Copies of this chain bind each other. A is one copy, B any other.
Amino acid sequence: MRILTLLLLWVPLAAAADPLASWDDGQAKQAITGFVAAVTQAGSPDFVPESERIAVFDNDGTLWVEQPIYIQLAFVLERIGELADEHPEWREEQPFKAALARDGVALGEAGMEGLMQLLMATHAGVSSSEFAALTADWIATARHPRFERHYTELVYQPMLELLDYLRDNGFKTFIVSGGGIAFLRPWAERVYGIPPEQVVGSQIALEYEVIDGVPTLVRKPEIAFIDDKAGKPVGIWRHIGRRPILAFGNSDGDYQMLEWTTAGEGKRLGLLLHHDDAEREYAYDRDSHIGRLDKGLDDAADKGWALVSIQRDWRRVFPWSPTADASP
């Protein structure tokens, strides 16, 4: 009986032995575990008190898939389709016509200005709670064109393990996304274990109005803050008010976040995910329109940032995909 009990205890203990089980035992994993050991060991010269163990993560391409288009853009395009009946003029007007036809060339030609028009048409003019419900509904049903899974199943298993591992070591984990804060918050806690107050992102203007006696936050068609590139350190400072000690990104949009994080005093860790596995996920870097990683690749070694290769460093990519020995 006692032996059986011991055996039963042994199974979960053995399974819990490696909190980063989906990571190959290579340099990237060692950089992470070495860093965490150094900053959490009392008496170590690199020790950091819990309150200052702030870790920030980009979202698109770092925590979940960003190809073939940003997931939030898929939401925008589907929402344009849903709203088209109320806007018959969209059938002839760009960029709406291109969005309805999923005409990538015409959308590309519409550029940033066109994208903003689509964003405002789909993200503003409703209350914050209505928008949260729209987002939650969409994310619960929409599926990725290649993987045919819900988008929230296209989060990276090694990153989920890393978030848990850091929190188990007294870190507070934050998302710092170029994407919209209101698009992420309704599901980030369920999927990543990151509560709304730890999500930093781009924002449109809000206005407080009492409408028919109901206090309401109305979303206005105006950009209030873009949390990308040099905006990321600004967004972090606004929301968190501390410089992180760990930053994890995957594109040049995360360059300044890593630069500012790792320039702080004491031990810091900057990580860049390199999408180099077309078979299990996607392969793209310097020439990609989405998630371009160019300057980051050039400077990573000089800056002391760890490059994480999906191909070599991740034994499993998604929670539902098979575990494999990493490629040689």
Please report A residues at the B interface, Cβ cutoff 8 Å: 51, 54, 128, 172, 181-182, 185, 189, 195-199, 203, 206-208, 210, 214-215, 217, 230-231, 233-234, 237-242, 256, 259-260, 263
* A231 cross-chain contacts in B, Cβ below 8 A: 208
Contact across chains for B196 and A242 when beta carbons are under 8 A apart? yes
- Whole-angstrom CA separation of A208 from B253 in the bound complex: 14
Asked, given contacts A51-B189, A215-B256, A239-B239, whether A207 binds B195 with beta carbons under 8 Å apart, the answer is no
Contact across chains for B208 and A256 when beta carbons are under 8 A apart? yes
* A208 cross-chain contacts in B, Cβ below 8 A: 230-231, 233-234, 256, 260
Contact across chains for A197 and B259 when beta carbons are under 8 A apart? no
Contact of A215 among B189, B197, B242, B259 (CB under 8 A): B259
- Whole-angstrom CA separation of A260 from B214 in the bound complex: 9
Copies in the complex: 2
Question: Chain B residue with minimal CB distance to A231?
Answer: B208
Contact across chains for A215 and B185 when beta carbons are under 8 A apart? no
Asked, given contacts A233-B215, A256-B215, A263-B215, whether A239 binds B197 with beta carbons under 8 Å apart, the answer is yes
Contact across chains for B207 and A241 when beta carbons are under 8 A apart? no
Asked, given contacts A215-B260, A217-B233, A259-B215, whether A241 binds B206 with beta carbons under 8 Å apart, the answer is no
Question: Chain B residue with minimal CB distance to A218?
Answer: B234
Asked, given contacts A197-B240, A234-B217, A241-B185, whether A259 binds B210 with beta carbons under 8 Å apart, the answer is yes
Contact across chains for B181 and A241 when beta carbons are under 8 A apart? yes
- Whole-angstrom CA separation of A217 from B54 in the bound complex: 18
Contact across chains for A241 and B196 when beta carbons are under 8 A apart? yes
* A128 cross-chain contacts in B, Cβ below 8 A: 237
Contact across chains for B237 and A217 when beta carbons are under 8 A apart? yes
CB distance from A177 to the nearest CB of B (A): 13
* A234 cross-chain contacts in B, Cβ below 8 A: 206-208, 217
Contact across chains for A237 and B189 when beta carbons are under 8 A apart? no
* A181 cross-chain contacts in B, Cβ below 8 A: 238, 241
Question: Chain B residue with minimal CB distance to A210?
Answer: B259
Contact across chains for A207 and B189 when beta carbons are under 8 A apart? no
Question: Chain B residue with minimal CB distance to A243?
Answer: B129
* A259 cross-chain contacts in B, Cβ below 8 A: 210, 215
* A199 cross-chain contacts in B, Cβ below 8 A: 241
Contact across chains for A206 and B238 when beta carbons are under 8 A apart? yes
Contact across chains for B217 and A197 when beta carbons are under 8 A apart? no
CB distance from A303 to the nearest CB of B (A): 11
Contact across chains for A238 and B203 when beta carbons are under 8 A apart? yes
- Whole-angstrom CA separation of A231 from B209 in the bound complex: 11
- Whole-angstrom CA separation of A210 from B230 in the bound complex: 10
5 pairs from A and B in contact (CB 8 Å cutoff)? A197-B197, A197-B242, A199-B241, A206-B237, A217-B234
Pick the 6 closest A-B CB pairs, nearest first.
A196-B241, A208-B230, A215-B260, A208-B233, A215-B263, A197-B240
